[in-house]
Amino acid sequence: MEKLKIAIQKTGRLSEKSLQLLDECGIKVSNGDRKLKTEARNFPMEVLFLRDDDIPQYVEKGVADIGILGENEVWEKEKEVDEIEKLGFGNCRLSLAIPKDEVYTNLDYFHGKRIATSYPKILKKYFGVKGIDVKIEELGGSVEIATGIGLADGIFDIVSTGSTLIMNGLKEVEAIIKSEAVLIANRNLKGVKQQLLDRFLFRIRAFKRGLGSKYIVMNAPNSSIPKICSILPGMKSPSILPLAEEGWSSIHSVVQEDQFWDVIDALKDVDAQGILVMNIEKMIL
Ligand code: ATP
Ligand code: MG
């Protein structure tokens, strides 16, 4: 039987989250013995464990059908692959940083400067558009030490909290672009493979929706129901169930996480009581 081959990072910041995502999608993978590839137990999927730098190439060539990696690597590698879904983890930004005692004015500061990076293509494009001439020093890793050892005047690298920069006596002066983990796919998937990808995507989306939503339940006097209904967004409309106590009801609804506290505040003002909030594991529309 045909299988969908997915490439994920072997070891690194995205490995655990990638396996977790598969698990949330009901796809059970064990890689206790750290093999290069392994088969999922209950979904026609084969998992390849690779360095993230290599994933775009493997997916372009069809060695893997799909892959999970940071957008930063997708942009840098410029391979012929489709970015099909943002995954909501591995969030970071690509930033320019310089030694902390330097006085920074604006982007022109970088004119004629040497910048060390593992993302030369992204950087070259960026300064090309701005019309600023810089000298790019390409490094495979440990970019943050490049200014300290005199290789460069500044760096262009991944930042999430900024603590690595501070530890190396640097300051972030420009955040250029934001990145997160994405699912990429080969451009020529057909037939069974495309169907398997659609099934996998359906599960990913149900999980992502669930993450962004809360299930809430509350009690209220019947007289408050119209007001409560006007506050609750819900999937369709809230469910309203009579309580044993005459004149009272239990109201159930789904609220988006980003509206959550505003909704709770509004509900308290209209006599909602005993509000329960629950995580939603999956949400299928
Ligand atoms: P590999 O050995 O697979 O090449 P790597 O050293 O290139 O690994 P990691 O440091 O594990 O990569 O990071 C993988 C991805 O995680 C990055 O490309 C980026 O998309 C994302 N990421 C999120 N936050 C950070 C961070 N603070 N530092 C580095 N990468 C981060
Ligand atoms: Mg890498």
Given this model, what pLDDT does residue 285 score?
Answer: 82
Given this model, what pLDDT does residue 237 score?
Answer: 74
Spell out the long-range contacts of 268-276 with Cβ–Cβ below 8 A and sequence spacing 24 or more: 270/220, 270/224, 270/227, 270/228, 270/231, 271/220, 271/221, 271/224, 272/218, 272/219, 272/220, 272/224, 272/228, 273/218, 273/219, 273/220, 274/218, 274/219, 275/216, 275/217, 275/218, 276/216, 276/217, 276/218
Q: Does the beta carbon of 13 sit less than 6 angstroms from any atom of ligand 1?
A: yes
Given this model, what pLDDT does residue 235 score?
Answer: 61
Tokens of 21: 């995502």
Are 136 and 271 contained in the same domain?
no
Are 241 and 199 contained in the same domain?
no
CB neighbours of residue 202 within 10 Å: 12
- We report the CATH number of the domain holding residue 206 as 3.40.190.10
Task: Write out the residue range of the structural domain in which residue 264 sits.
Answer: 213-279
The rounded distance, in Å, linking the Cα atoms of 123 and 156 is 7
Nearest to 147 by CA among 102, 111, 95, 93: 102
Q: Is residue 30 part of a domain?
A: yes
Q: Does the beta carbon of 52 sit less than 6 angstroms from any atom of ligand 1?
A: yes
Q: Is residue 229 a contact partner of residue 270, using CB atoms and an 8 Å limit?
A: no
Given this model, what pLDDT does residue 32 score?
Answer: 66
Tokens of 114: 């040497």
Structural domain count of the chain: 3
Question: Final residue of a domain: which of 210, 231, 260?
Answer: 210
Question: Final residue of a domain: which of 164, 179, 194?
Answer: 179
Are 140 and 67 contained in the same domain?
no
The rounded distance, in Å, linking the Cα atoms of 249 and 154 is 63
For residue 247, give the DSSP letter.
Answer: T
Position 279, amino acid: N
Please report the beta strands in 145-283, taking only residues with DSSP state E, as ranges in sequence order: 154-159, 170-179, 181-185, 213-221, 239-242, 248-256, 273-279
Are 170 and 196 contained in the same domain?
no
- Ligand 1 atom nearest 71 alpha carbon: 20
What is the strand order of the sheet 45-50 is part of?
37-39, 45-50, 4-9, 66-70, 181-185, 82-86
Q: Is residue 111 part of a domain?
A: yes
Are 231 and 260 contained in the same domain?
yes
Q: Is residue 271 a contact partner of residue 252, using CB atoms and an 8 Å limit?
A: no
Are 76 and 121 contained in the same domain?
no
Are 175 and 97 contained in the same domain?
yes
Q: Does the beta carbon of 85 sit less than 6 angstroms from any atom of ligand 1?
A: no
The CA distances from residue 234 to 32, 177, 239, 259, 265, in Å, are 42, 34, 9, 11, 16
The rounded distance, in Å, linking the Cα atoms of 73 and 78 is 9
For residue 93, the surrounding DSSP H or E stretch is strand 92-99
pTM of the complete model beyond 0.85? yes
Q: Is residue 234 part of a domain?
A: yes
Are 71 and 197 contained in the same domain?
yes
CA terminus-to-terminus distance, the chain: 30
Per-residue confidence in pLDDT tens, the chain, 285 aa: 899 999 999 999 999 999 999 999 999 998 766 789 999 999 999 999 999 999 999 999 999 999 999 999 999 999 999 999 999 999 999 999 999 999 999 999 999 999 999 999 999 999 999 999 999 999 999 999 999 999 999 999 999 999 999 999 999 999 999 999 999 999 999 999 999 999 999 999 999 998 889 999 999 999 999 999 999 876 667 899 999 999 999 999 999 888 889 999 999 889 899 999 999 999 898
Are 85 and 186 contained in the same domain?
yes
Are 51 and 190 contained in the same domain?
yes
Are 12 and 59 contained in the same domain?
yes
Q: Is residue 284 part of a domain?
A: no
Q: Does the beta carbon of 3 sit less than 6 angstroms from any atom of ligand 1?
A: no
Which of 8, 14, 57, 177 to probe ligand 1 with, by most ligand atoms within 8 A of CB? 14
Q: Which residue has the least CA distance to atom 13 on ligand 1?
A: 13
Which residue's structure tokens are 């493997």?
Answer: 58
Q: Is residue 272 part of a domain?
A: yes
The two most distant CA atoms of the chain are separated, in Å, by 78
For the chain, the residue count is 285
- We report the CATH number of the domain holding residue 234 as 3.30.70.120
Q: Does the beta carbon of 154 sit less than 6 angstroms from any atom of ligand 1?
A: no
Q: Is residue 285 part of a domain?
A: no
Q: Is residue 104 part of a domain?
A: yes
Q: Is residue 129 part of a domain?
A: yes
